[in-house]
Amino acid sequence: MPTATTKPPLQSPPIERLLMVLLFALPILWLAGYFFPPINHDVGAILAVSRRWIDGQKLYVDVIDENLPLTFIVHALPVLTAKILPGGIPFWFTAWVVAGIFGSFFACSRLIRLVPSADHALTAGLLPPVLLFLFTVLPNEHFGQREHIMFVATAPYLFASMARAEGVSTSRGTAMAIGLVAGVAFALKPYFLAIPAAVELYLLIRRGWRRSFRDEIPWSILAVAVVHLVLMYTVFSAYGRFVMPLAIEAYSPIGDAGWWEILTGDVMAPTLIALLIFGAFAVFLTRTVAARVVVAFGIGAAVSAIAQAKGWPYHLLPALSIAILLAALTISQTVDRYLPISRSGHRLPVAVISATLMVLLYFQAALYTPPFFKQRQYEDSVGGILRHIVEQNAPHRTIMTLSPGIYPFWPMLNYVHGRMTMRFLTMWVLQGVYATCEDFPALYNPPDTMSDTEKFVYDAVSQDFADGKPDLLIVDTIPGMPRCQGKIFDYLEYFRQNKVFADAFRHYEHLMDFDRYQIYRRKKR
């Protein structure tokens, strides 16, 4: 019989190793599912613009989109890769994101060791699999969205900032690399800059201005932002001087909701509540400075989502990720502080606690959004069926769409190697022009009373239709605008007022009505 002073035997290493292997193997296997179609529709549209730009069209002139230049520069990478290596653009986009995930995870795994408060058994064992879950599983249908790319690319910045807050700095080269990568990611959307603003403000208060002034990371982020701003008015001057004012005028009203409606949305409200609760737990229970940096990052992510004023779920992805990370940090830090676990003798409890929490996260993620639902249903989806319609009826794979939506035209066009014969991807400008219905207006503004913005779209779309001669014209019967005088805005009726469009339309015949779309085919000569 063992005496009271006998040390308990070490737990079986194979069980501990098996659990840890599973924690890392599952998300890695999960990534394989993202290589199956479809990619995210917004991603597909951005890739299409980048492809047209790389193929010689002038960005913001021949192809007009409201996204910032850096977005298309970043997305040009898979387009260029597909030109020199086998595989399509969607494949290489996914491959580059997966490579980024592995690179970011490797960097974060090394940076965690620099955070003094994270140098404990459970924290060091739990945070890496949680981070990998946030990179790979949580995004699901939003995989590859700019919010997802931003969080993956800036996670090393987060952990480096946790270390900086606790008095540990990286080498100058490492700091500059972290700052430059984070700067590119934050510059994808101006709203993202709320995150480094919140983090650096906290670090300034924590460390004082002298140490913050000598820190390479914030200066690297600022350098990228300044260079990007300069590019908007030099290399991509059409964006700064034309598209940005156009976006402010016409894109901002689309999907714009009141602040109360945004804050109480189905995703926004629970995420903000979770951030508040987990943030309070992390600050007041763990009492670690590093946790306060994570809270600052989460506040910036929440401000970014709210400032976009749309309430779309993927805008909350970084804030939701931080909420989960805070929960894991609170659990691990509390156990490490009050119930210390020895690294050498009790690795199995660490593995069991980590595995239990991860199973809960996977379970909740599967309930929230069924894994790979869109991949499993793609062939029978609207996008999958439309793909077959285009393949059978568009010999040149050219289409033109009069629709407020990106989906289902993207990513369908990405997979058929098709092309939009219009400089706009959607009717977003007209949506902004007709976002409200005033008292007793005409359903359509007469051409001689149109604003400069509306007249430009009215003429440009008509000319693009006549010049592009697309195989198919697809008209959406749901215009994405409010009814006016009880009538629905009809895109086809609207543009047929233009003689250039009307003359070109004579060469088309009705092919079919599919779902909410009227499809017209160019007549055979």
Q: What is the pLDDT along the chain (525 residues), one digit of tens a residue?
A: 444 444 454 444 677 777 777 878 888 889 999 999 999 999 999 999 999 999 999 999 999 999 999 999 999 999 999 999 999 999 999 999 999 999 999 999 999 999 998 888 888 888 999 999 999 999 999 999 999 999 999 999 999 999 999 999 999 999 999 999 999 999 999 999 999 999 999 999 999 988 999 999 999 999 999 999 999 999 999 999 999 998 887 766 665 556 677 787 777 888 889 899 988 888 888 888 999 999 999 999 999 999 887 878 899 999 999 999 999 998 888 888 777 666 555 666 777 777 788 877 877 777 677 788 888 889 999 999 999 999 999 999 999 999 999 999 999 999 999 999 999 999 999 998 888 876 556 789 899 989 999 999 999 999 999 999 999 999 999 998 888 878 899 999 999 999 999 999 999 999 999 999 999 999 987
244 class by beta-carbon count within 10 Å (0-12 exposed, 13-18 middle, 19+ buried):
middle
Number of separate domains in the chain: 2
Cis peptide before 37 (omega within 30 of 0): no
| DSSP-assigned states of every residue in 355-372 | HHHHHHHHHHHHHHS-TT
What are the phi and psi torsion angles at 79 (to 5°)? -65, -45
Q: What does the pLDDT read at residue 9?
A: 47
Does residue 435 form part of some domain?
yes
Identify whether residues 362 and 450 lie together within a single domain: no
The pTM (predicted TM-score) of the whole model is: 0.91
Is residue 439 domain-resident? yes
- Whose CA is closest to 154, among 110, 184, 120? 184
The answer to whether residues 360 and 391 belong to one domain is: no
Q: Which domain holds residue 471?
A: 378-522
Q: Are 429 and 457 in contact (CB under 8 A)?
A: yes
* 350 shares a domain with 435: no
State the CB neighbour count (10 A cutoff) for residue 442. Answer: 9
Instruction: Decide if 8 is inside a domain.
Output: no
Are residue 422 and residue 366 in the same domain, yes or no? no
Q: By the 8 A CB rule, do 87 and 77 touch? A: no
Task: Give, in degrees to the nearest 5, the angle at Cα 445 between 441 and 449.
Answer: 110
Q: From 358, 374, 390, give the residue that closes a domain.
A: 374
Same domain, 80 and 194: yes
From residue 380, how far is each of 91, 343, 373 by CA, in Å?
21, 51, 12
The label of the residue with tokens 């602040």 reads 259
Numbers of helices and strands, H then E, in the chain: 24, 5
Based on its alpha-carbon atoms, the radius of gyration of the chain, rounded to whole angstroms, reads: 26
Instruction: Kindly state whether residue 216 falls inside one of the protein's structural domains.
Output: yes
Q: What end-to-end distance do the CA atoms of the chain give, in Å?
A: 97
Residue 227 included in any domain: yes
Nearest residue to 144 (alpha-carbon basis) of 208, 207, 188, 114: 188
For residues 38 and 34, what is the distance between their CA atoms, to the nearest angstrom?
8
Does residue 115 sit in the same domain as residue 153? yes
Determine, yes or no, domain membership for 302: no
Examine the domain organization and report whether 349 and 436 are in the same domain: no
Same domain assignment for residues 432 and 480: yes
Closest by CA to 163, choosing from 117, 223, 225, is 117
Task: Say yes or no: 364 and 488 in one domain.
Answer: no
d(CA 433, CA 410): 24
Angle at 189 between CA 185 and CA 190, to 5 degrees: 110
Q: Are residues 469 and 359 in the same domain?
A: no
Residue 50 lies in a domain: yes
Is the Cα dihedral 370, 374, 380, 382 positive or negative? positive
pLDDT score, position 367: 67
Query: Residue 262 falls within a domain, yes or no?
Result: no
Q: How far apart are CA 399 and CA 413, in angstroms?
A: 9
Residues 191 and 120 in one domain: yes
Q: How many other C-beta atoms can be found within 10 angstroms of the C-beta atom of residue 64?
A: 23
Last residue of a domain, one of 322, 355, 374: 374
What is residue 255's three-state secondary structure? coil
Asked if residue 430 and residue 358 are part of one domain, the reply reads no
Order across the sheet with 472-476: list the strands: 419-420, 398-402, 472-476, 517-522, 508-514
pLDDT confidence of residue 441 = 67
